[in-house]
Structure 1
Amino acid sequence: MQKRVKKKLVSLYTGELFAVFIFALMWVLYILLFEWSVPYLTSYSSLYAFILLEFILLQGSYYWYLKLKQIQNHELVLLPDRQLRTFANLKRVNEGLLLIGVFVSIYQIISKPIEFYWFVFLFLFAVIEHINYYYVRLSYQTVEDIKELKRQKGFRRSRLAKELDSFLK
């Protein structure tokens, strides 16, 4: 059982970190290789949404790394208060940054720039990742995960959300 949990945590931790690096690499490569992509990828709004997405993905990777370290040390408890306080603060920072993103969206709708749809895609991706980590588990990648979703008849609180709930009580 513990071996399976370790494998899952390694997959989650490295998968999120890999996504951060691959997204950044692809961003730069597209700018360098495809001239048509420059207005979309170098606009302030698209850069804002992209950096926000990367920031949230890094938080997820860090969380899964901490959980992996706990399992490796045979600790099956909540994260320490110091780390949970960090995640509670990151959640508030994210929500502030997402609120700024809403205002950027409104500005984008009014001005109708060329990069509007790219910004919306990135911004919604960031919103979904924030919800996935801090509120409700939205990611179901394996057949077992999907069977679990059907069994529980709906979404459940994310692991980090549960830990933050117990910390903030």
Structure 2
Amino acid sequence: MALLELINVPLQAAVWFGVLGLPPSPANLAGFAAFALLLAQGASYWIAKLRQLGSGASALPGATAFALALRADPPVLFAVVMFTGWSALNAPGAATYLGLGFAVFAVLEYVNYFYTQLSYDNIADLRYLTARGLRRAHLAIDLERHRAAQARSRPGAPPLPR
């Protein structure tokens, strides 16, 4: 998974801006940057998860950084969606629609990584989806474990925000 996420960033740039020749306008680049940021975070998570599983550690490496991303991403994504949406309304066309599409995709990736799994791309996932509905994201589960471990290590401290 991590490798696919990382390959997708330059691949998508090459296809959209190179092969198809869409303009690297401010709106398109802003949307693409948000998309690339979320794919890089997703790749980082899968790399950390592989390290955790390989080492047998109970804690996810870098969990604090992912908890920070959980909080920092929404205002960034909001700003990018607002900018690309405003751009698409004021100058509709190839110089803005791609950026808005990338921005919306970045928001969906954020939900997919940090809250609810939206990607069901294998038989086991599809069976789960049809039998039980949407599944909590793997990173969301790991961050909940991280919060619980932090709370246990600080008795009497107020609970950490979700």
The yes-or-no answer on 1:92 pairing with 2:71 is yes
Give the equivalent residue in structure 2 for 1:162: 141
Structure 2: unaligned runs, 5 residues or longer: 148-159
Q: Choose which of 91, 100, 103 in structure 2 pairs with 1:120.
A: 100
C-alpha separation between the residues in 1 aligned to 2:146 and 2:51? 19
Structure 1: unaligned runs, 5 residues or longer: 1-11
Displaced runs of 4+ in structure 1, greater than 6 A?
none
Q: What displacement does 1:74 show?
A: 2.6
Query: Residues 22 and 110 of structure 1: is their aligned pair in 2 closer, same or farther, counting only changes over 3 Å?
Result: closer
Query: Residues 14 and 42 of structure 1: is their aligned pair in 2 closer, same or farther, counting only changes over 3 Å?
Result: same
The yes-or-no answer on 1:108 pairing with 2:87 is yes
Give the equivalent residue in structure 2 for 1:64: 46
The yes-or-no answer on 1:24 pairing with 2:6 is no
C-alpha separation between the residues in 2 aligned to 1:102 and 1:58? 19
Percent identity over the alignment? 29
Note the aligned Cα RMSD (angstroms).
1.9
C-alpha separation between the residues in 2 aligned to 1:121 and 1:70? 34
- What residue identity is the alignment partner of 1:48? A
Structure with the larger helix share: 1
- Structure 1 SS opposite 2:59: coil
Range with greater deviation from structure 2 (17-26 or 126-135): 17-26
- What residue identity is the alignment partner of 2:108? I
Q: What displacement does 1:69 show?
A: 1.2
Query: Residues 119 and 24 of structure 1: is their aligned pair in 2 closer, same or farther, counting only changes over 3 Å?
Result: closer
Give the equivalent residue in structure 1 for 2:153: none
Q: What displacement does 1:29 show?
A: 2.4
In the superposition, the TM-score normalised over structure 1's length comes to 0.77
Deviations 1:31-89 (CA, angstroms, capped at 9, x unpaired): xxx5xx3xx431101100001101110010010001111112233x2314xx2211121
Q: Choose which of 92, 111, 117 in structure 2 pairs with 1:131.
A: 111
C-alpha separation between the residues in 2 aligned to 1:146 and 1:132? 15
